């Protein structure tokens, strides 16, 4: 019988909605009281924000906003409820962006994922995530501690020493990027050392089906999580391996890239996350990643919604005719005409010149109707193509670069 990490994973939809209706307004009120949110949430009544749908009226917070906020109010931009000294760790990610961490037990909620991987007492986790400046190493270490496992803080590099340590200590679980496990296994084969890895908890890179199968052929069950330095665990695989289950400590929305507008169910869009972490209440934080909500529930019995996993990046900014075209400009074009369902900008090379084609999903067949809006929103002229509703690909892209640079 499956044992779950806690009772939150198997709540009924009604109970989860009831719990969210209590915890989400509390989190919005917490954020509203912080100086970093003073300007953007001051007119919001937290009591009205009781579900994911209600979040759609709030502004989106982007990584670039964090950088600006931290420049004005170091180190955390006025977005934490604790002083820097109130956290167990502080980190620096590229940007630089500073992140707090370790304010409470399993602060990043990675224990839930490691439990789903079958990691627990008696396991030794060979942790190959980095420990210096950036938080990935500590994120996975805190999760291992939450499930009672021991940790070898291996980090990256020095592969021969890693093989020796994994062999001598009897490490049972690998944690790290999907591809580095293969580097370790291949080096172990070269050294003639048998390793005891039976489980792998991976993240931070693409897990290709062929690579997962190679690990399975070696007797290693490999599952992946989706996490960020700012938010912690967002979603994770279970042994069912059917999509990624959204973590119980966050609320996930899928929106049209460049906007905060939710997409239709099943459509690909940008992942926007609101965390329920009381120490660091990030509200509608845009990850820049693409994904989509899946229908139904996981066969493993966990009842939260699922996403399809990482499906690319949402920032599709492209230079055409020497001018940048951004997703928010495409969104502005669509917003000008209520009969337009979607639009997509395609950059092509025609002869030695750039060409911009604007594909518009609408029942109106008058291209001239949209010519002025194209110039105003995209700041250049383009060839307009009217396409049937539902005909544009469901891949989250609103800008596609088809030019061959070879």
Q: How far apart are CA 65 and CA 60, in angstroms?
A: 9
CA–CA gap between residue 10 and residue 376 (Å, rounded):
50
Q: Report the alpha-carbon angle 326-331-332, nearest 5.
A: 95
Which residue, 184, 88, 76, is CA-closest to 135?
A: 88
Total Cβ atoms within 10 A of residue 198 = 16
H or E stretch including 229?
none
Residue 146: CA count within 13 A, CB half-sphere = 23
pLDDT tens figures, 19-67: 999 999 999 999 999 999 988 999 999 999 999 999 999 999 998 899 8
Give the C-alpha separation, 265 to 282, whole Å.
Answer: 24
Q: What is the pLDDT of residue 406?
A: 45
| 397: nearest Cα among 314, 311, 338 | 314
Show the domains of the chain with their CATH numbers. Answer: 7-307 (3.40.50.12780), 318-401 (3.30.300.30)
State the first-to-last Cα distance of the chain, in angstroms, to the nearest integer: 56
Ranges of residues in the chain with a pLDDT under 70 are 1, 322, 352, 404-406
β-pair partners for 290:
270
* Residue 7: per-residue pLDDT: 95
Q: How many residues does the chain have?
A: 406
């Amino acid at each position: 019988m499956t044992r779950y990490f806690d009772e939150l994973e198997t709540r009924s939809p009604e109970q989860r909605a009831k719990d969210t209706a209590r915890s989400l307004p509390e989190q919005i009120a917490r954020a509203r009281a912080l100086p970093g949110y003073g300007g953007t949430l001051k007119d919001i009544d937290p009591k009205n924000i009781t579900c994911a749908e209600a979040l759609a009226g709030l502004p989106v917070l982007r990584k670039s906003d964090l950088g600006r906020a931290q420049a004005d109010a170091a180190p955390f931009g006025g977005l934490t409820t604790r002083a820097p000294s109130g956290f167990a760790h502080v980190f620096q990610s590229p940007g630089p962006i500073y992140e707090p961490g370790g304010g409470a037990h399993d602060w990043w909620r990675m224990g839930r994922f490691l439990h789903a991987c079958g990691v627990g007492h008696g396991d030794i986790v060979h942790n190959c995530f980095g420990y210096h400046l950036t938080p990935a190493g500590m994120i996975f270490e805190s999760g291992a501690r939450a499930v009672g496992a021991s940790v070898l803080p291996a980090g990256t590099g020095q592969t021969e020493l890693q093989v020796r340590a994994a062999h001598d200590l009897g490490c049972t679980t690998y944690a790290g990027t999907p591809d580095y496990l293969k580097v370790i296994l291949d080096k172990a084969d070269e050294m003639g050392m048998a390793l005891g890895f039976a489980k792998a908890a991976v993240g931070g890179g693409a897990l290709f089906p062929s690579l997962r199968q190679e690990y399975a052929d070696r007797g290693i069950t490999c599952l992946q999580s989706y996490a960020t330095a700012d938010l912690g665990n967002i979603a994770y695989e279970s042994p069912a391996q059917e999509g990624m289950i959204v973590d119980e400590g966050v609320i996930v929305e899928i929106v049209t890239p460049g906007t905060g507008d939710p997409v239709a169910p099943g459509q690909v869009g940008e992942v926007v996350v609101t965390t329920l972490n009381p120490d660091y209440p990030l509200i509608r934080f845009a990850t820049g990643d693409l994904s989509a909500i899946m229908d139904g529930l996981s066969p493993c019995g966990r009842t939260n919604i699922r996403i399809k996993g990482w499906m690319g990046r949402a920032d599709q900014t492209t230079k055409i005719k020497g001018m940048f075209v951004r997703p928010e400009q495409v969104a502005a074009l669509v917003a000008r005409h209520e009969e337009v369902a979607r639009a997509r900008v395609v950059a092509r090379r025609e002869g030695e010149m750039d060409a911009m084609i604007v594909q518009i999903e609408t029942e109106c067949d008058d291209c001239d109707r949209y010519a002025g809006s194209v110039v105003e929103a995209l700041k250049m002229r383009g060839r307009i193509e009217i396409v049937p509703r539902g005909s544009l690909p469901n891949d989250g892209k609103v800008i596609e670069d088809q030019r061959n640079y070879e």
